[in-house]
Amino acid sequence: MEDWTLRNIQQQDWISLVFLFNFIVLTILKTRHKTQFQYFIRFIDSELYFKIYGKQKSVINSFTTLGAAFLIINCTLLVYYHLTTNNFGPNTFPFFSLILITTTGVVIIRHFFSQLCFKIIEIERISNDFKFKGLNFLIQISIPLFVLLLLYQYSVTNSTFLNIISGITFTLYLLFQLSLFKEYWHVLKHNLLYLILYLCAFKLAPWILLYSTFN
């Protein structure tokens, strides 16, 4: 009980502002893109959303930019909770900011290198669809993740619940990645070497490096 009390005293002010900021971002996303957002949150019938909005020429637009910011902050919170719970870092805003900046840097670098990878294997024509679906699904996952993190911070404060949150998030991510690669397998199977390099260099290595940096 003492740990729970100390945790709230030390963190509540600035973490409350982080949650408030993310809520504002989600609200802006909903109000500025009302119709798109209504299709976006139809998790059961997400294919309809991709059929309507998946033909955009650029993956980067106001909707995905705001959504990516929302996603990165939620992921940073999840990593921050795990690291501080396991005593890999202090319960401070500077430490959270360090994780946020590092995560953002990894995402940006990975984005440009993945573009180069798609160009090398000459499948640029499907790269936008591939990235659009991948990014938007991650943003979809981050909405329930945001709610679960709120519960963890202000209600169910224990490591078991945090592990459950991570397990659910990772499972959903893995299932979608498998379905995404299955959908584009007819193209990717002719470039297996580059596909393996892509998975190792751009999907796994950045996050392993990030984890080892803070471990």
Greater model confidence, 6 or 68:
68
Provide the number of structural domains found in the chain: 1
pLDDT score for 105: 86
Segment 79-98 mean pLDDT: 89
Average pLDDT, the chain: 79
Q: What is the pTM of this model?
A: 0.80
Whole-number percent of the chain with pLDDT over 70? 73
Does 4 score more than 70 pLDDT? Answer: no
pLDDT score for 21: 95
pLDDT score for 103: 86
Please give the Cα distance from 190 to 197 (Å, whole number). Answer: 14
Tokens 């005593």 label which residue?
Answer: 87
Please give the Cα distance from 111 to 106 (Å, whole number). Answer: 8
pLDDT score for 203: 60
Please give the Cα distance from 117 to 130 (Å, whole number). Answer: 13
Contacts of 4 by beta carbon, 8 Å cutoff, 6+ apart: 157
Please give the Cα distance from 161 to 4 (Å, whole number). Answer: 14
pLDDT-derived band of residue 68, with 50, 70 and 90 as boundaries?
very high
pLDDT score for 184: 67
pLDDT score for 5: 41
Q: What is the DSSP string of the chain?
A: -HHHHHHHHHHHHHHHHHHHHHHHHHHHHHHHTHHHHHHHT-GGGHHHHHHHHTT-S-S-SHHHHHHHHHHHHHHHHHHHHHHHHTTSS-SSHHHHHHHHHHHHHHHHHHHHHHHHHHHHTT-HHHHHHHHHHHHHHHHHHHHHHHHHHHHHHHT--SHHHHHHHHHHHHHHHHHHHHHHHHHTHHHHGGGHHHHHHHIIIIIIHHHHHHHHHH-
Q: What is the DSSP string of 138-151?
A: HHHHHHHHHHHHHH
pLDDT in tens, 169-206: 989 888 887 877 777 666 656 655 555 555 555 565 55
Q: Which domain holds residue 97?
A: 2-214
pLDDT in tens, 100-134: 998 888 888 777 777 776 676 666 666 677 778 88
